[in-house]
Amino acid sequence: MEYNSNNNPYIQPGDPYPGGQMQPVRNPGRAMATASMILGIVSIVSMLTVYIPVICGSLAIVLAILSKGYGKKMLPGAKVGIGTGIGGIMLIFSIVGSLVAMILSLNRDDLITFGRQMDQQFERQTGQELEDVLGQSYEEIMKQYAEAMGK
């Protein structure tokens, strides 16, 4: 008896997988794991912005966890997504934290100089004075801050 695709009772006419081949099993979480990995990388690359790393890093972590589904093991792309997402969030918080610590550690004269530089930078970028926009200059804000901190 000959078993070819013409008389095999297990192959339906028009079957896209002739010869009794099995259809490849596709992991439904693979797309989410890939998206997680891409978002994690974006969160690290965009670390000089403030909001993008936090948003992309958070989404990378969520998608990596969701890509696991009911499986026991996490896909490699999801692992990379979690690592880069956490790394991007930690980088941005460390940068912002170090900037805040730097400003808090400045003495009165340095704070006032910093405020003056910020006023000049704002005027160069926008063409208007910060005092016209906020009602007071950044230099005055730094003087008030220095007085409140007892510096």
pTM, 2 dp: 0.64
Q: Kindly state the DSSP code that residue 150 receives in the 8-state scheme.
A: T
pLDDT in tens, 21-59: 566 656 678 889 999 999 999 999 998 888 999 999 999
Separation CA 143–CA 151 (nearest Å):
9
pLDDT in tens, 1-25: 444 555 656 656 665 655 555 666 5
